[in-house]
Amino acid sequence: MTATAISLRGLSKHFGQVRAVDELDLDIADGEFFSMLGPSGSGKTTVLRLIAGFEEPTAGTILLGEDDVTRRPPFSRDVNTVFQDYAIFPHMSVVENVEYGLRVKKVGKADRRRRAEEALETVRLASYGARRPHQLSGGQRQRVALARALVNRPKVLLLDEPLGALDLKLRREMQIELKEIQRDVGITFVFVTHDQEEALTMSDRVAVFNEGRIEQLATPVELYEQPASAFVAGFVGTSNLFRGEDARRLVGEDGTFAVRPEKVRLATSAPADTTGLCVAHGVVREVVYLGATTSSVVELDDGPTVTVSHPNTDTSIDAAAERRDQRVVVTWRRDHLVSLGSPTQATSPEEETA
Amino acid sequence: MHQLRRLDDGLDRGEGLTLSIIDRRPGLRVGLLLTPPMLWLGAAYLGALGALLITSLWTQNDFTGNIERVWTLENFKTLFTVEVYRTITVRTIGLAALVTAVDALLAFPIALYMAKIASPRAQRLLVIAVLMPLWASYLVKAYAWRGMFSADGPIEWVLQPFGLNTPGYGMVATTVTLAYLWLPYMILPVYAALERVPDSLFEASADLGAGSVHTLRRVVLPMAFPGFVAGSIFTFSLTMGDYIAVKIVGGTTQLLGNVVYDNQGAANNLPFAAAVATVPIVVMLGYLAAARRTGALESL
Amino acid sequence: MRKNRSRRRWSGPAALACAGVLALATACGTSSGDSSGGGSAAEDQGGFTAPDIPMQDSVGDPEGQVNILAWPGYAEDGSTDKSVDWVTPFEEETGCQANVKYFGTSDEAVQLMKTGEYDVVSASGDATLRLIASGDVAPVNTDLLKNYPDIAPFLKDQKFNSVDGQMYGVPHGWGANLLMYNTDVVKPAPTSWGAVFDGASDYAGKVTAYDSPIYIADAALYLMKTQPDLGIEDPYALDQDQLAAAVDLLKKQKENVSEYWSDYLKEVQAFKSGDSVIGTTWEVINAVAQGEGAPVEAVLPEEGSTGWSDTWMISSKAQNPNCGYLWMDYITSPEAQAQVAEYFGEAPANTKACALTSDKTFCDTYHAEDADYAAQIHYWTTPIEQCLDGRTDVTCTNYGDWTTAWTEVKG
């Protein structure tokens, strides 16, 4: 049990008829790397903006530590934000940007400069202080934004899809770097993203947002292995979903079930021992090469299609490609099946304790 | 550049052989594209300016009114030695600066409201409202202010209960009228400059702990600065060249434009008028150079 | 009503420059009207001799067209205002198609006449002598003009339209600059220009004056009558000292001036609103201001006045001389004169027009038949270095000097 950095209670934000955030309760622990994941329009960014103070809630309270900051303007909240577009002041040099918050707080010039340079060092831009923002690359600007926020040593750092504008390789590097920086400075990061991979890579916990509500709040592993709803199962990674008639035929039970593609095996014939296994027959309709893995889409005799993913241990995909239009047997372990009840059933133990 | 390329694409699709030659020769392509405007700029604009400067070095025969093409600096000597011209030059520059300052003060809150506070619908309406006065004739507006400042006008009517009178026709009326006339030219560039500033910059400033005043001073004003510079080029140069508004509401005030007009229109002394006309040109060149030094022109 | 419409026309935006010019147009008559100067006009007028240009002795078959260079408002063909049209009847009557070009300043008129592309021109006094001297216009055979005998005698054989008794044109119309005052404020009624000079401080901030260097002549005329020591004989012939005295007088006047006017509508408005209560004016302004209910009167002060007089002249290079003569005769006919004079607001040269004006008191208002009144007018002329009053011991100030001086007056 650690101290709570942020508590949201009954938080709502309505834009006209739209309930962007709908009676949200959430606690974020001190020092946590917390991600808010969801499709666009799911309310995650609005929550972030409510915490930062850029929006006023329609109802509910926001606590930073012990302080109720619900009605306070952004400039009197001990949080800092890294904006999606970085919001670097174009008329100031890099170091002036980083110093801005300290300058506002009337920190002495020498102290201010020293701390700004430290912050730039943290984000590995030590020699870039004199540059103008337009001379920097996207990744460098992103780091300046980070340094500008970190230099103020806020209790909480809010990051609004900060890696969205970067290319894939740079994004991967920055994911790791961000995580390292967070560990080094030890402050709470609240990270908004629509990229599930990003959320899974960096976070201690992830809240999956859908239509202004949290669908599931869990660690990355739980989120992936135990999705609480069809939405989460579909949004975080990919899942094969079986519902109704299909579920009854393939699983033998009523309900909704999900199984991850990499948990499904593909064979030419059914294994001898089928204990604890589900077995289904079908025809390979599509083979998709994905580099590290290959996906096969199998149309089952019993109706639904199933995606099967397997690592490319061969040096060519010929073997896999040859399977197209072949009859195959797909199997998966019964205990790899996730039963998706209603979202309320899918609460995780952490949330109870929080 | 983008536009150039798009135009080329159009050419590529539209035409075959002939234009493909142009296509392969980027120099030729740009040349063809830029020749007509450059001709216009070079011949019509700079040519006229050059002719003006040359004319200022000639003199005029007083009886026949013919220009005598003898090189002389006599006009400039008169311009610099006769005190009244110095007085008028200083007055004109002072008025231009004053009008610019008044416009900047008035334009900023309006532009800020339009760019950052008004709803998109209100924003469109406000842009139209700002532009609307430009549709009305300059003269109609100037005469409207003549009515405002007249002895039986609204200003007198408002001030009388306080024991005050209308300032009448003169520098005050001229400043107000010109500031009114050129205000859209200040609002629009400042609005455009502010509109381009992402809201996130203001949020970032607040997020970093800055109150409204600090944000205004450290972020909003610097970001609006190029707009102010652009607007001031309009307000300053338009004031420098004005001679009509001052005739209508200026009372006995005269500006450089009046001296040019009187010499050219009335006395037909084109050479001296040309010499006087070089003064605002030089002042504006100096002003543009100063504006360039601020770097504001680059971000326009 | 018609007068109203004509006014409106000049108030249009595009006409502002014209309005300023118009001020000059009506103001730029030339040469002093009193016949005090002895000897030939040529000697008086700076010593030039008129070039030997042959005079036409008959009017032959019309050429079918005529190119007219005129002040705005002098040759209306109905395109400005449908009811204002005296060009179409001329075309129907003579078979000469009239191609009218309006000019903005006397200087422009002089320049355009040099091209030889125009047959006739309505020249003001400051243009006439220059046109005669440069040989751009020919002497006019007045025997060929059947309306010439009806022209007011006091306009014939004047210094600005004839050389050595030979007419170089046919008089068109004239007017005087008057002293207008607000009858509610200015009491008793002024009788002297002193009301806007030495006595101007009585109406501080409410005095108005005409905005042109030529207005210096008004000050000079006042000095001529009030300070004989200065030796001013002709308000258009000022040596350096005399000009300096006039400038001093005008600088003192400026302290009390609300504004200078050159757009005559502006003056009407200023008198209506009370921004101006006394100052120089034209008859037409007085009429308009009274028509709009302003409490104003205009008087010809005891010192006399400055004014203008315009003359139709024919080009020495006229390609359509016959149609040109037909036009000069037509435009000085009573019918045409009545229309032009009423439209423009000036006294018609042909006094028979007085019977044809729509406003029967028009000629009385404009003193069209009053030779004594006309004699008190010093018609505006361009000051030149050769003193117009005949002095040869000094160099007079020219119009360029006056322009500079006027700029200094306004400061």
CA distance C286 to C296: 7
In terms of DSSP H, where are the helices of chain A? 44-52, 94-104, 109-122, 138-150, 168-185, 196-202, 220-225, 230-235, 244-250, 318-322, 349-353
Q: Do A84 and B200 touch (CB under 8 A)?
A: yes
The β-bridge relationship of strands C120-124 and C65-70 is parallel
Residue B109 has pLDDT above 80, yes or no: yes
CA distance C278 to C185: 9
**Residue B129 token pair:** 């409202």
Position A315 confidence tier, pLDDT thresholds 50, 70, 90: low
Q: Are residues B270 and B178 in the same domain?
A: yes
Residue that wins the pLDDT comparison between B123 and B33:
B123
Mean pLDDT score of chain B: 84
Identify the closest residue of chain B to C405 by CA–CA distance.
Answer: B84
Residue B171 has pLDDT above 50, yes or no: yes
Residue found under tokens 């296509």: B23
Phi, psi of A289 (to 5 degrees): -85, 125
Residue A135 has pLDDT above 70, yes or no: yes
Q: Do B209 and A75 touch (CB under 8 A)?
A: yes
What pLDDT, on a 0 to 100 scale, did the predictor assign at position B38?
81
Residue B251 has pLDDT above 70, yes or no: yes
Answer whether residue B60 is part of any domain.
Answer: no
CA distance A336 to C350: 119
Answer whether residue B159 is part of any domain.
Answer: yes
Global ipTM = 0.80
**Nearest Cβ partner of A75 from B201, B210, B218?**
B210
Beta carbons within 8 Å of C272's beta carbon, 6+ residues apart = C289, C292, C293, C294
What pLDDT, on a 0 to 100 scale, did the predictor assign at position C49?
67
Residues of B in contact with A104 (CB under 8 A): 208-210, 214
Does C45 lie at the interface with B, CB-CB under 8 angstroms?
Answer: no
Q: Do A74 and B206 touch (CB under 8 A)?
A: yes
CA-CA-CA-CA dihedral for B178, B181, B184, B187, to nearest 10: 20
**Nearest Cβ partner of C399 from B62, B261, B265?**
B62
Q: Do A101 and B222 touch (CB under 8 A)?
A: no
Mutate: best of B119, B196, B207, B214, partner A, most A CBs <10 A: B207
CATH at residue B161 = 1.10.3720.10
Q: Are residues B25 and B113 in the same domain?
A: no
What pLDDT, on a 0 to 100 scale, did the predictor assign at position C46?
45
Q: Are residues B118 and B202 in the same domain?
A: yes
| Residue at C138: amino acid letter | A
CA distance A344 to A352: 12
C126-136 burial, b at 16+ Cβ within 10 Å, e below that, comes to bbbbbbbbbeb
Mutate: best of A82, A88, A89, partner B, most B CBs <10 A: A89
User: In angstroms, what separates the C-alpha of B201 from chain A's closest C-alpha?
Assistant: 5
| Bridge partners of residue B264, in order along the sequence | none
CA distance B187 to C125: 50
Q: Give pLDDT < 70 ranges for chain C.
A: 1-49, 80, 104-105, 107
Does C213 lie at the interface with B, CB-CB under 8 angstroms?
Answer: yes
CA distance A199 to A196: 5
* Per CATH, domain C178-281+390-410 is 3.90.1150.10: no
Q: Are residues B102 and B9 in the same domain?
A: no
CA distance C58 to C55: 9
DSSP state of C190: P
Q: Do A81 and B210 touch (CB under 8 A)?
A: no
Domain that holds residue B145: 73-299
DSSP state of A90: T
Q: Are residues B129 and B220 in the same domain?
A: yes
**Residue B252 token pair:** 């006995």
Q: Are residues B80 and B177 in the same domain?
A: yes
Residues C73-105 pLDDT 10s: 788 888 767 888 999 999 999 999 999 988 766
Q: Do B214 and A53 touch (CB under 8 A)?
A: no
Answer whether residue B49 is part of any domain.
Answer: no
A25-39, B261-275, C127-141: lowest mean pLDDT where?
A: B261-275
Domain range summary for chain C, segments of one domain joined by +: 2-174+309-370, 178-281+390-410
Q: Are residues B116 and B207 in the same domain?
A: yes
Helix (H) or strand (E) holding A267: strand A264-267
Q: Please tell me whether the peptide bond between C188 and the residue prior to it is cis, using omega within 30 degrees of 0.
A: yes
Residue B3 has pLDDT above 70, yes or no: no
Position B5 confidence tier, pLDDT thresholds 50, 70, 90: very low
The CATH architecture to which C2-174+309-370 belongs is 3-Layer(aba) Sandwich (3.40)
The β-bridge relationship of strands A338-339 and A257-259 is antiparallel
Q: Do B139 and C258 touch (CB under 8 A)?
A: no
Q: Do B137 and C13 touch (CB under 8 A)?
A: yes
Q: Are residues B7 and B121 in the same domain?
A: no
Q: Are residues B236 and B294 in the same domain?
A: yes
Q: What is the pTM (predicted TM-score) of this model?
A: 0.74
Residue B231 has pLDDT above 80, yes or no: yes
**Nearest Cβ partner of A85 from B198, B222, B299?**
B198
DSSP state of B190: H
What pLDDT, on a 0 to 100 scale, did the predictor assign at position C69?
94
What pLDDT, on a 0 to 100 scale, did the predictor assign at position B30?
78
Q: Are residues B20 and B85 in the same domain?
A: no
Q: Are residues B160 and B208 in the same domain?
A: yes
Q: Do domains C2-174+309-370 and C178-281+390-410 have the same CATH topology?
A: yes
What pLDDT, on a 0 to 100 scale, did the predictor assign at position C374?
84
Q: Are residues B16 and B96 in the same domain?
A: no
What pLDDT, on a 0 to 100 scale, did the predictor assign at position A89?
94
| Residue at C76: amino acid letter | E
Q: Do A100 and B218 touch (CB under 8 A)?
A: yes
C85, C161, C167: which is closest to C130 by C-alpha? C161
- Say how many domains are in chain B: 2
